[in-house]
Amino acid sequence: MQKTSARLLALLSLLQMRRDWPGALLAERLEVSPRTVRRDVDRLRELGYPIAAIKGPDGGYRLDAGTELPPLLFDDEQAVALAIALQLATTAGAGIEEAAARALTTVRQVMPARLRHRIDTLRITAVERAGVRSEPQVDSKVLMALSAAVHAREVLRLDYPSETDDGTPAPPRRVEPHHLVTWGGRWYLVAWDLDRADWRTFRADRVTPRTPTGPRFTPRDLPGGDVAAFVTARFRGSDDAGGWPCRGEVLLDLPAAVVSRYARDAVVEEAGPGRCRVVMGSWSWLGLASALGRYDADIEVIGPPELKTAFAHLATRYTTAASS
């Protein structure tokens, strides 16, 4: 028979694996009597673990949520995943960086040497681009409030910095919160604006939620049905979840294998020896023409006419710049 301390850890590990455990099955897994299981459950309760007894023909136990966080038991893969997640959290911009760092230190201290070595070989460093200001931090309480409103499907009133035509602060916004997302290192709330009858994305670091929340609502369907596609389209400047607002087709005097390394979401196809067909999108026609010009190759525009106009505009601008 295992020693009491080892048996308690084994019992705790089993209780964390599934919601309900029949007492007889726990006794069988631990190779002890049901009476010993009852005594061990009482010991875990004394240590702060909220274990509820399940009534019924079989009887059993369940590890419930309590008012305080008791010590937790993780297997090797869970411990490594937790440590990696905590390192990522220190660069999340969610206002929890210091707490995540302290939690990582706590987890690392109790890890066995074999796991500590695995964690110590992974170091994540956040590097900011030169000349770019650091992203504003979001108060973790704000994130929790927004997330709670999304989960409860309750109308949210929020203050968002903007001005009316006469320069006075805008009144609170009334929205149906649908998703809390991250994009480019920032947090955003995707919501249906009740006053404007349209979808909006709000920067979470600028949002001040008001309490109490409003009535519950039935979620609307996002355009395209996918939050990732919707947010991507909005930041491209398009209401179409399927693509960019400006999309053109050209022939480049470069092999497809060369262009495809840098084309990201463009479509690149072979178009003969040393040539390729490229279909690419951008937020503007001038932006698309500029992006195609960076390949340093001869370009033949297939269409549309707006793309040819953009190349002509850039040609005039660059000619002026070259002769100045």
Express each pLDDT in 54-68 by its tens digit: 887 667 888 876 545
CA–CA distance, 19 with 145 (Å, rounded to integer): 28
Region of poorest pLDDT, from 109-123, 202-216, 254-268, 310-324: 109-123
Q: What is the pLDDT of residue 108?
A: 74
Half-sphere exposure of 202 (CA within 13 A, CB side): 33
CA–CA distance, 208 with 158 (Å, rounded to integer): 5
Listing DSSP states for 232-265 in one string gives HHHHHT-S-TTS-SEEEEEEESS-HHHHTTT-TT
Most confident of 90-94, 130-134, 165-169, 312-316: 312-316
Q: What is the pLDDT of residue 127?
A: 54
Region of poorest pLDDT, from 71-85, 126-140, 185-199, 239-253: 126-140
Q: Is the pLDDT of residue 93 over 70?
A: no
Q: What is the pLDDT of residue 1?
A: 44
Q: What is the pLDDT of residue 185?
A: 67
Q: What is the pLDDT of residue 174?
A: 94
Q: Is the pLDDT of residue 7 over 90?
A: no
Q: Is the pLDDT of residue 163 over 70?
A: no
Choice between 209 and 51, residue whose per-residue pLDDT is larger: 209
249 φ, ψ to 5°? -130, 135
Q: What is the pLDDT of residue 216?
A: 93
CA–CA distance, 109 with 86 (Å, rounded to integer): 14
Confidence of residue 286 (pLDDT cuts 50, 70, 90): very high
Q: What is the pLDDT of residue 71?
A: 63
Contacts of 41 (CB under 8 A, 6+ apart): 11, 51, 53, 61
Q: Is the pLDDT of residue 70 over 70?
A: no
Average pLDDT value over all residues in the chain = 80
Q: b/e for 125-149, b at 16 or more Cβ within 10 A?
A: eeeeeeeeeeeeebeeebbebbeeb
Q: Are 93 and 186 within 8 A, CB to CB? A: yes
Q: Is the pLDDT of residue 16 over 60?
A: yes
Tell me the percentage of the chain whose pLDDT exceeds 90. 22
Choice between 107 and 256, residue whose per-residue pLDDT is larger: 256
Confidence of residue 252 (pLDDT cuts 50, 70, 90): very high
Q: Is the pLDDT of residue 242 over 70?
A: no
Express each pLDDT in 170-212 by its tens digit: 788 999 999 988 776 678 899 999 999 999 999 988 999 998 8
Listing DSSP states for 92-106 in one string gives S-SS-HHHHHHHHHH
Region of poorest pLDDT, from 66-75, 142-151, 171-180: 66-75
Q: What is the pLDDT of residue 126?
A: 54
